[in-house]
Chain A
């Protein structure tokens, strides 16, 4: 009796051990945990996109706690588990449009409305998407996968998640992590290329102060923007519809509470859920593949191409503009969207050459145009490859 009880205890202990994370761990789990810790470190120490990197970084930790696959509904990929239910917002693609609603409700399109030619810079920067698409095809990815990877160049996390969940769900984790990582790293990626492609004279170009935009124009913008872009690219409707709707809530002046909810509690809630579940989707067994490495390389390339395309387009555009209407090419990088970080980079780099030249407001024009441009590009890719 005594012996059998002890052996019972021993067997139970052995069984318990098989359930522990230590027993089920593989080297990949530890690699991913280190990646998650780096994300958290970057967010806290350097404040790189902390509101995204903290949830994603912690999500990576959650997703890489090893466990025995015993049908306990623990993991993100186990149907019916809590994480799996929360992950539905990512796989079904309804988190990104809600994020866009909040972005719309917090975005002031005044800079763009007052100087509408800046919209074209937002369009030019989308070359990053298609540059990466072309390279991804040459690296052996299928067209739908290449499209999903290319959208990283749009520098828009929600758009990247939305499109990859539709075109290549199997690559979504890597694409989302890559997009957010590079968005956080725009202060490091963009300045060298901005400086490389501009001359000293160009960097100190002073742009005309934007005129004051009337409230009627601000109200018209989301309505006309929606009708125009979505009639052209209906597949961009989930993102563009919510973006412009959120903006109308803000600009109409009569839905202040709704606008505040959209840009406050709602976007915060969705950001938390999106970040933590995207992070948790990077389970080492699913994530640590050669494709992920390729996607990270392509993501960096797409950001570089987008930055260069934006800056070079401004230089080209300046050839056709009168001297007093010229645009400072340092705002070209802001076309990659990544609101508002890339606009801030324009301001910071510009102020290194002329501390009294304030480019931030001007850079916000292509910056928000980039959001529209990348959503339109995503719609085109979805229409063609979906």
Chain B
């Protein structure tokens, strides 16, 4: 009974760990990405109004549902604006953005928060997980923000905050029109030698380490089997320690085989192993087909 309780406890702990891991890949992947405090001649909302805004970015490769999470501008009130649940638009696609209007009128919809960004002072914005306690990301936007100039990460979700050259609501802060990795290869490795050396190096290293490990495992396994055999009182026979009787039997079988001396006999001396334990080696169903006919 005690064992069952222990096992159940272990399984539950593992399940909890997995669940925590799964959660970690979700809401915690969100980042505050860009903020515009003074919006005079920039993006307008669905009501045709201009106000400051806060952009969130999903850094992960999976869709994240931010419904039930919180946005706030008050360190003492993490649950100031609960992002409504049940709105399909709160499911943020991989590497995509969500824009929240800081107009202080939450009744205008899911993406309108109940606070505003004050152009006359420093602003604090934070994004909290659905428990209202786990801080996912926060930023302090310095006072003295310029009109229609946004403050954010130069590359989405990465690096320091700075004033951005372009205001980019709901789109990438830095537009990537080339594949930097490929350009790099084209420029520096036009012959592909670098790739060959690197990749073959990785393949060799991987399989070499595996070789080293299993060489040691084999030694341990052989040693363990010898210990077991000794305990059981059996004689350990090495490949090189074959007894004279066995050699005589093998020689005799080989002689008969080569001279083809068999006639119709009920008993045949053979070196073939007659009874085999099952092994996929002998199971052609699973691994081998007949060689193509000519």
A384 and B186 alpha carbons, distance in the complex (Å): 12
Give the size of the chain A interface in residues (CB under 8 angstroms): 62
Contact of B210 with A119 in the complex, beta carbons under 8 Å: yes
Chain A residue with the shortest CB-CB distance to B212: A116
A134 interface residue, CB < 8 Å from B? yes
Beta-carbon contact of B199 and A116 below 8 Å: no
B199 touches A384 (CB 8 A): yes
CB distance from B198 to the nearest CB of A (A): 7
Which single member of A123, A143, A364 contacts B207 (CB below 8 Å)?
A123
User: Is B255 on the interface with A (CB-CB < 8 A)?
Assistant: no
**Which of chain A's residues 321-346 have a Cβ closer than 8 Å to chain B?**
339-340, 344
Most chain A CB within 10 A, of B206, B213, B214, B217, is at B206
| Residues in A neighbouring B221, C-beta threshold 8 A | 213-214, 216-217
Cβ of A120 to closest chain B Cβ, rounded Å = 6
Q: Give the docked Cα–Cα distance between A110 and B204 (Å).
A: 20
Given A47-B290, A108-B281, A108-B287, the answer on whether A380 and B207 have CB atoms closer than 8 Å is no
- Please, what's the 1-or-0 string for B171-210, where 1 marks a CB less than 8 Å from any CB in chain A? 0000000010110011001111101101110111111111
Query: At the interface, yes or no: A228 with Cβ under 8 Å from chain B?
Result: yes
Cα distance A381–B189 in the bound complex, in angstroms: 14
Whether B206 pairs with A108 at a CB distance below 8 angstroms is: no
In angstroms, Cα B179 to Cα A232, docked, is 24
Q: How far is the CA of A122 from the CA of B192 in the complex (A)?
A: 21
The chain A residue sitting closest to B225, CB to CB, is A214
Q: Does A138 contact B (CB under 8 A)?
A: yes
Chain A CB within 8 A of B293 CB: yes
| Complex contact B185–A143 (CB within 8 A) | yes
Contacts of A263 in B (CB 8 A): 286
Q: Which residues of A contact B190 (CB under 8 A)?
A: 137
Question: In the assembled complex, how far is the CB of residue B180 from the closest CB belonging to chain A, in whole angstroms?
Answer: 12
Q: Kindly specify which of A14-22, A198-206, A219-227 makes contact with the partner chain.
A: A219-227
* Choice from A124, A211, A380 contacting B202 with Cβ under 8 Å: A380
- Cβ-closest chain A residue relative to B294: A46
Contact of A133 among B195, B202, B288 (CB under 8 A): B195
Inter-chain contact B185/A116, CB cutoff 8 Å: no
Q: How far is the CA of A119 from the CA of B218 in the complex (A)?
A: 14
Report whether A232 and B202 are in contact in the complex, using a CB–CB cutoff of 8 Å.
yes
Please report the C-alpha to C-alpha distance between residue A208 and residue B281 in the assembled complex, in whole angstroms: 17
Residues of B within 8 A of A (CB-CB), count: 47
Separation of A123 and B200 alpha carbons in the complex (Å)? 8
A376 touches which of B206, B214, B293, B294 (Cβ 8 Å): B206
Please, which residues of chain B bring their CB within 8 A of the CB of A48? Answer: 292
Shortest CB-to-CB span from A59 to chain B, Å, is 21
B105 at the binding interface (Cβ < 8 Å): no
A142 contacts which of B182, B217, B288, B290 (Cβ < 8 Å)?
B182
How many A-B residue pairs have C-beta atoms within 8 angstroms? Tell me.
151
Given known contacts A130-B199, A144-B182, A385-B185, is B206 in contact with A116 (CB within 8 Å)? no
Contact of B292 among A47, A112, A129 (CB under 8 A): A47
Q: How far apart sit A340 and B198, CA to CA, in the bound complex (Å)?
A: 28
Instruction: State whether the Cβ of A308 lies closer than 8 Å to any Cβ in chain B.
Output: no
Query: Which residues from 264 to 294 on chain B have a C-beta closer than 8 Å to any C-beta of chain A?
Result: 279-281, 286-294
Contact with B along A253-294 (1 / 0, CB 8 A): 000000000010000000000000000000000000000000
Once the chains bind, are A119 and B195 in contact (CB under 8 Å)? no
CB neighbours (8 Å) of B179 from chain A are 144
Q: How far is the CA of A148 from the CA of B182 in the complex (A)?
A: 13
Docked CA distance A124–B196 (Å): 12
Contacts of A116 in B (CB 8 A): 210-211, 214-215, 218
Measured CA separation A133–B195 after assembly (Å): 9
Chain B interface, >50% SS class: helix
Contact B200 A130 (CB under 8 A): yes
A47 cross-chain contacts in B, Cβ below 8 A: 289-290, 292-293
Most buried by A among B193, B279, B292: B292
Q: Which residues of B contact A112 (CB under 8 A)?
A: 214
Judge whether A114 is part of the interface by a CB distance below 8 angstroms. yes
Contact indicator A381/B199 (Cβ below 8 Å): yes
Which B residue's beta carbon lies closest to that of A136?
Answer: B192
Which label, helix, strand, loop or mixed, suits the secondary structure of the A interface?
helix
Complex Cα spacing A385 to B179, Å: 9
Q: What CA separation (Å) do A126 and B193 show in the bound complex? A: 14
Q: Which residues from chain B contact A380 at a C-beta distance below 8 Å?
A: 198-199, 202-203
| B199 x A340 contact (CB < 8 A) | no
Q: Is B222 an interface residue (CB 8 A)?
A: yes
Most buried by B among A123, A228, A232, A380: A123
Cross-chain contact B218 with A217 (CB below 8 angstroms): yes
Cβ of A154 to closest chain B Cβ, rounded Å: 10
Whether the pair B200, A126 counts as a contact (CB closer than 8 A) is yes
A235 to B185, CA, bound (A): 19
Complex: chain B residue closest to A231, CB-CB = B206
Partner of A361, one of B185, B202, B205, B281: B281
Q: Is the pair B196, A133 in contact by a Cβ cutoff of 8 Å?
A: yes
Nearest B residue to A224 via CB reads B213
Closest to B182 in A: A143
In the complex, the chain B residue whose C-beta lies closest to that of A132 is B192
Q: In the complex, what distance in Å separates the CA atom of A326 from the CA atom of B289?
A: 29
Q: Are A110 and B215 in contact (CB under 8 A)?
A: no
Q: Is A177 an interface residue (CB 8 A)?
A: no
Contacts of A108 in B (CB 8 A): 279-281, 287
Say if the beta carbon of A68 comes within 8 Å of chain B.
no
Contact code string A367-386 (vs B, CB < 8 Å = 1, else 0): 00100110011001100110
* 0 or 1 for each of A99-122: is its CB under 8 Å from B? (1 = yes): 000000011101011101101101
- B residues at A contact (CB < 8 Å): 179, 181-182, 185-186, 189-193, 195-196, 198-200, 202-211, 213-215, 217-218, 221-222, 224-225, 239, 279-281, 286-294
Other contacts beyond A130-B199, A144-B182, A208-B239: 14, CB < 8 A: A117-B211, A123-B208, A130-B200, A131-B196, A133-B195, A134-B191, A142-B182, A143-B182, A147-B195, A214-B221, A217-B214, A217-B221, A364-B281, A380-B199
A-B contact pairs, 6 of them (CB 8 A): A47-B290, A123-B204, A143-B185, A214-B224, A217-B218, A233-B202
- Counting from the closest, the 8 A-B pairs by CB-CB distance are A130-B196, A116-B214, A134-B192, A380-B199, A119-B207, A143-B185, A108-B280, A47-B292
